[in-house]
């Protein structure tokens, strides 16, 4: 003859078992949940505070002799050329490259994603800076915007860019570089409305040493990224 446990004992045991399952489930959920990001939020539209200043030229970049001669030649062409046919590649709708994309007289917006920081520029260019720990692509083909990866160092976003071609200018006066260009950008929010960007430019083929410049960007909470079509605005047919 079978013996049955009293109903009160069964209910108590069932309740205890369910409680253990719930606790285990909570522990699993906590273990599997992604860690909360402690990184600062740079979201918003930004615009360079002194976009009219060419601080790259002001900083007397340490040019190699051949690059110095080319720079002088380009600066003369800029001042004497036909305004309707400027020599600046950007004026001819060529992508500006890195780091010049950051200090054109156009606003740009930062959007944070799970594994990357996205920069949307009004000049119809998007930069994706992956922050998931990956390195640079192997055998990367040189492009106008290069290959960018990022990492967080405390409150600073460090962006490392290589794989750039030599078809762009570093400033509006024609500061040259080669395909050996390596750019490190350090972005930090010094206060709510100010983003500080530090650019370290290293190109041993064009410069005698690496050098660094800084720029400040102001938050524009009421601005939105608009559509800018270079070919139409420059009346290029």
Tracing tokens 């106008």 back to the chain, one arrives at: 144
Q: 0.85 cut: is pTM over it?
A: no
Domain that holds residue 86: 44-233
**Whole-number Å distance between alpha carbons of 189 and 234:** 34
Whether residue 5 sits in one domain with residue 54: no
Residue 38 belongs to a domain: no
Q: What confidence tier does 231 reach under pLDDT thresholds 50, 70, 90?
A: confident
Residue 161 belongs to a domain: yes
Model pLDDT for residues 201-216, shown as the tens digit of each residue: 999 999 999 999 999 9
Model pLDDT for residues 146-192, shown as the tens digit of each residue: 999 999 999 999 999 999 999 999 999 999 999 999 999 999 999 99
Q: Which of the two residues, 85 and 51, has the higher pLDDT score? A: 85
Whether residue 203 sits in one domain with residue 148: yes
Residue 84 has a pLDDT of: 82
* Range with the poorest average pLDDT among 6-15, 31-40, 109-118, 199-208: 6-15
Whether residue 3 sits in one domain with residue 107: no
- Please check whether residue 4 is in contact with residue 153, taking contact to mean a CB–CB distance below 8 angstroms: no
Which 3 state secondary structure label does DSSP give 168?
coil
What burial class does residue 141 get, using C-beta atoms within 10 Å of its C-beta: 0-12 exposed, 13-18 middle, 19+ buried?
exposed
Strands (E), the chain: 44-48, 108-112, 116-121, 125-130, 147-153, 156-162, 182-191, 194-202, 211-219
Residue 182 belongs to a domain: yes
Which 3 state secondary structure label does DSSP give 47?
strand
Q: How many domains does the chain have?
A: 2
Whether residue 17 sits in one domain with residue 54: no
């Amino acid at each position: 003859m079978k013996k049955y446990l009293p109903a009160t004992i069964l209910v108590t045991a069932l309740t205890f078992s369910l409680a253990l399952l719930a606790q285990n489930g909570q522990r699993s959920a906590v273990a599997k949940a992604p860690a909360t990001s402690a990184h600062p939020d740079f979201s918003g539209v930004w615009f360079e505070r002194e976009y009219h200043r060419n601080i790259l030229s002001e900083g007397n970049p340490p040019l190699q002799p051949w690059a110095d001669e080319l720079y002088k030649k380009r600066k003369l062409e800029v001042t004497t050329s036909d305004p309707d046919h400027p020599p600046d590649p950007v004026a001819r709708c060529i992508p500006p490259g890195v780091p010049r994309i950051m200090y054109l007289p156009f606003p740009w917006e930062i959007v944070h994603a799970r594994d990357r920081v996205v920069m949307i520029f009004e000049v119809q260019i998007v930069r994706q800076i992956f922050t998931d720990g990956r390195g640079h692509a192997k055998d990367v083909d040189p492009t106008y915007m290069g290959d960018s990866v990022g990492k967080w160092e405390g409150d600073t976003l460090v962006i490392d860019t290589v794989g750039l071609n030599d078809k762009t200018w570093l400033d509006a006066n024609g500061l040259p570089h080669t395909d050996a260009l390596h750019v490190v950008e350090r972005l930090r929010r010094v206060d709510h409305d100010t983003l500080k960007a530090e650019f370290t430019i290293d190109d041993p083929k064009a410069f005698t040493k690496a050098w660094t410049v800084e720029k400040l960007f102001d938050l524009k909470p009421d601005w939105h990224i608009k559509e800018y079509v270079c070919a139409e605005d420059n009346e290029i047919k």
